[in-house]
Amino acid sequence: MEKRNNWLLSISIFLFVALMLSVVQTLNTARPLLLLERFVKHGGWVEVLVIALYAAFLGYKMTDPACVPKFRKLSWIVFSIVFFSQFILGVTVDTIFLMTGKLHLPIPMMVLAGPIYRGQLSIMPILFLSTIILTGPAWCSHYCYFGAIDSWVSGRRKKKFFIKNGSAFKWTTFIVVIFFAWFFRMVGVGHFITTLLAILFGLLGVGVIFFLSNRYGTMIHCTYYCPLGSLVNLIKWINPFRLTIVDSCTLCMRCTSICKYDALKLENLKSRNPGISCTLCGDCIHSCHHQSLRYKLFSLSSNTSRSIYLFLTISLHAIFLAIARI
Ligand code: SF4
Ligand code: SF4
């Protein structure tokens, strides 16, 4: 039965990703959207096949909850490496590696602050919002090029303890960033200064990852520093997927140390509600011996809800892997 589910999910993901990327491949754009097509005629079709097979493999593996922590993190870091490699090659070697060639800073905070400062939406915020509508908070557990680094660095350490006053810092940073993006626009602060400040913010974030997340074994950057992550926490509710803690939970707290987003503290387990920072990553599901942690989508069973969630997140991950570049 389990094997059949693995294959079912895997084949569905393969067909969906192949279909979506085939549409992308046939679009009549100034430059082909799939990178391989830019180098070899019909190479885009090879890319469609390879990425669809890769997505199907992930689907097959991740049907087993015990495999989720390993394969989710691996695929997320692959996404980040591909994204940043294309960016660096595009800037230093040839613009063929870029999507539009219009450079913007690859710092997640800019997805929030950029539109406030410019007074208009661009492609990145639209892409970001579409992931929230389809998969809720999965931006911060599957797609973000920065979060993958926080996940990888914190994942090498055992979680130590909860961060005191982390939430106060998180929401203060969120409000300060929004205020200054608006303020700079109002008083007409130029691009040079705002770009420098954004780079400084990004570098500080890298420091948070390598010093704090690394030290405490928790995704401190994503949970307490990144304003885009805070926005995800606030607006993820527009998507109907949830993680529930059912009454079979004995408060043994086995899952607590697994959650790198600090969303399974004792008070969360007692109230049967994961913390606001839960990204539906799914790492905790297998850690519970009582099957008390479950995905929920409307009144569907937890297994069906989880399968639909995996289908959506893995498919989007694969499609972004093929087309998300600056
Ligand atoms: S919190 Fe920020 S850096 Fe982390 S995954 Fe979310 S958007 Fe990316
Ligand atoms: S509560 Fe579970 S699903 Fe939510 S972020 Fe933590 S480990 Fe991931």
pLDDT digits (tens, 9 = 90+) for 174-224: 999 999 999 999 999 999 999 999 999 999 999 999 999 999 999 999 999
Of 239, 263, 289, the residue that ends a domain is 239
Q: Is residue 311 part of a domain?
A: yes
CA 37 to ligand 1 center in whole angstroms: 31
Residue ranges of the chain with per-residue pLDDT less than 70: 1-2, 101-103, 161
Residues 141 and 196 both lie in one domain: yes
Runs of H (alpha helix) within 188-265: 191-207, 214-216, 220, 227-235
Q: Using an 8 Å Cβ cutoff, are 324 and 64 in contact?
A: no
Q: What is the pLDDT of residue 159?
A: 80
Residues 117 and 217 both lie in one domain: yes
Residues 95 and 110 both lie in one domain: no
Residue 226 near ligand 1, beta carbon < 6 Å: yes
Of 239, 257, 290, the residue that ends a domain is 239
Token pair, residue 111, equals: 């997805």
Residue 232 near ligand 2, beta carbon < 6 Å: no
Cβ of 215: how many Cβ atoms within 10 Å?
Answer: 13
Residues 159 and 219 both lie in one domain: yes
Q: Is residue 266 part of a domain?
A: no
Q: Is residue 250 part of a domain?
A: no
Q: What is the pLDDT of residue 176?
A: 98
Residue 274 near ligand 2, beta carbon < 6 Å: yes
Ligand 2 atom at minimum distance from 283 CA: 7
Q: What is the pLDDT of residue 1?
A: 56
pLDDT digits (tens, 9 = 90+) for 91-118: 899 888 887 766 678 899 999 999 999 9
Q: d(Cα 39, Cα 59) in Å, to the nearest integer?
A: 29
Q: Is residue 126 part of a domain?
A: yes
Q: What is the pLDDT of residue 165?
A: 86
Residues 2 and 78 both lie in one domain: yes
Q: Using an 8 Å Cβ cutoff, are 200 and 261 in contact?
A: no
Look at the chain and report how many structural domains it folds into: 2
Residues 111 and 202 both lie in one domain: yes
Residues 114 and 225 both lie in one domain: yes
Q: d(Cα 257, Cα 274) in Å, to the nearest integer?
A: 14
Phi, psi of 251 (to 5 degrees): 65, 30
Q: What is the pLDDT of residue 304?
A: 96
Cβ of 265: how many Cβ atoms within 10 Å?
Answer: 15
Q: Using an 8 Å Cβ cutoff, are 268 and 51 in contact?
A: no
Q: What is the pLDDT of residue 103?
A: 65
Structural domain boundaries, residue 60: 1-102+299-326
Residues 113 and 230 both lie in one domain: yes
**Which ligand ends up closest to the CA of 280?**
2
- Computed on alpha carbons and rounded to an integer, the radius of gyration of the chain in Å comes to 20
Q: Is residue 269 part of a domain?
A: no
List C-alpha distances in Å: 137 to 83, 132, 238, 324. 20, 6, 10, 18
Dihedral, 57, 59, 64, 70 alpha carbons, nearest 10:
70
Q: What is the pLDDT of residue 37?
A: 96
Q: What is the pLDDT of residue 318?
A: 98
CA 136 to ligand 2 center in whole angstroms: 13
> pTM score, two decimals?
0.95
Cβ within 8 Å of residue 155, ≥6 positions away: 73, 260
| Residue 280 one-letter amino acid | L
Longest dimension (CA), the chain: 63
Q: What is the pLDDT of residue 101?
A: 62
Residue 262 near ligand 2, beta carbon < 6 Å: no
The distance of Cα 294 from the centroid of its chain, to the nearest Å, equals 20
Residue 177 near ligand 1, beta carbon < 6 Å: no
Measuring from atom 4 of ligand 2, which residue has the nearest CA? 278
Write out the DSSP string of 97-110.
GSSSS------THH
Residues 192 and 181 both lie in one domain: yes
Can you list the positions of beta strands (E) in 16-99? none
Q: What is the pLDDT of residue 234?
A: 98
